[in-house]
């Protein structure tokens, strides 16, 4: 039997579809086990820090798992998550300011340049004055059908609200932290919006688990697969929100 066959799930189509979910549940129980070790808090800090600037996986599932594992420390975990996320947002700002060329290369290598930067075709209906007014930075022009164009528009309308809403909701926070540095949008405003938005989000999770953990833990464990799917859907909708809902 070859290696591919050994690693394939058995039991037909239904089993194959359920296999990723079972792996996620195993991962969840593995993460919960961290709450009884010295590595839980450092792992939460690192994940929260990286997610704010470049890493795609949000810290919420790990935060929930650790809070459920040790409810008495739930508020501490919420604080760790908040502080690390704010610091990671600052790093994202400096990445956008000083290293955007590398970010652009990564986005292009992933084949996502049209979604992030837009396309020249989107400017076909604009007059010369409107084309000249398109946001530009880092040697690039950003067109109306791209994420960075929309984010720049939100910054121009209300920088604090842009940072705060991205920090609080499933809208991809890292897009705003990197774009903030790229467009030289107030770093103190980023810090303030991040403290309030990320703090509100993570401390609310921690507080709810601290108060009602015994009641929600069985529900989370029973429906973890669907909750994970819901989180992924929210993250995808967050990207949609940048262009259509903000």
4-53 tens-digit pLDDT: 444 444 545 445 445 555 655 665 566 556 666 778 899 899 989 998 88
- Is position 177 within any domain? yes
- Is position 3 within any domain? no
Q: Which residues are CB-contacts of 209 (< 8 A; sequence separation ≥ 6)?
A: 64, 67, 68, 71, 74, 216
Asked whether 68 and 213 are in contact (CB, 8 A), the reply is yes
CA distance 50 to 204: 21
Sign of CA dihedral 169, 83, 90, 160: positive
**Radius of gyration (Cα) for the chain, nearest Å?**
20
- Is position 8 within any domain? no
At 187, which helix (H) or strand (E)? Answer: helix 187-222
163-214 tens-digit pLDDT: 998 898 877 888 899 999 999 999 999 999 999 999 999 999 899 888 887 7
195-208 tens-digit pLDDT: 999 999 999 989 98
- Is position 11 within any domain? no
For 232, the domain range is: 17-244
130-159 tens-digit pLDDT: 888 888 888 888 888 888 888 999 999 999
Buried b (16+ CB within 10 A) or exposed e, 180-196: bbbbebebebbbbbbbb
CA distance 42 to 66: 11
E strands, 73-153, where? 136-137, 140-141
pTM strictly above 0.85: no
3-state secondary structure 131-180: HHCCCEECCEECCCCCHHHHHHHHHHHCHHHHHHHHHHCCCCHHHHHHHH
Tell me the two tokens of residue 218.
Answer: 């069985």
Sorting pLDDT into bands at 50, 70 and 90, what band is 217? Answer: low
- Is position 183 within any domain? yes
- Is position 60 within any domain? yes
CA distance 54 to 222: 31
- Is position 4 within any domain? no
- Is position 7 within any domain? no
Number of domains in the chain: 1
Give, in order, the Cα–Cα distances in Å from 43 to each of 9, 59, 139.
30, 10, 36
């Amino acid at each position: 039997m070859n290696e591919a066959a050994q690693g394939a799930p058995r039991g037909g189509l239904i089993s194959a579809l359920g296999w990723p979910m079972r792996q996620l549940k195993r991962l969840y129980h593995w993460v919960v086990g961290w709450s009884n070790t010295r590595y839980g808090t450092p792992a939460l800090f690192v994940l929260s820090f990286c997610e704010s600037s470049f890493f795609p996986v949000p810290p919420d599932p790990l935060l929930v798992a650790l809070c459920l594992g040790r409810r008495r420390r739930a508020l501490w975990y919420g604080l760790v998550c908040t502080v690390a996320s704010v610091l990671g947002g600052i790093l994202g700002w400096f990445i956008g300011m000083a290293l955007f060329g590398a970010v652009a290369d990564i986005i292009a290598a992933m084949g996502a340049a049209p979604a992030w930067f837009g396309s020249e075709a989107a400017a076909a209906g604009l007059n010369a004055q409107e084309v000249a007014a398109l946001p530009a930075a880092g040697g690039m022009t950003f067109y109306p059908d791209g994420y960075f164009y929309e984010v720049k528009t939100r910054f121009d309308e209300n920088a604090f609200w842009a940072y705060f809403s991205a920090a609080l909701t499933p809208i991809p926070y890292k897009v705003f932290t990197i774009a903030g540095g790229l467009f030289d949008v107030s770093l103190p405003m980023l810090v303030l919006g991040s403290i309030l938005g990320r703090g509100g989000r993570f401390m609310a999770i921690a507080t709810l688990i601290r108060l009602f953990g015994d009641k929600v833990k069985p529900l989370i464990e029973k429906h973890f697969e669907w909750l994970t799917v819901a989180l992924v859907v929210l993250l995808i909708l967050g990207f949609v929100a940048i262009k259509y809902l903000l």
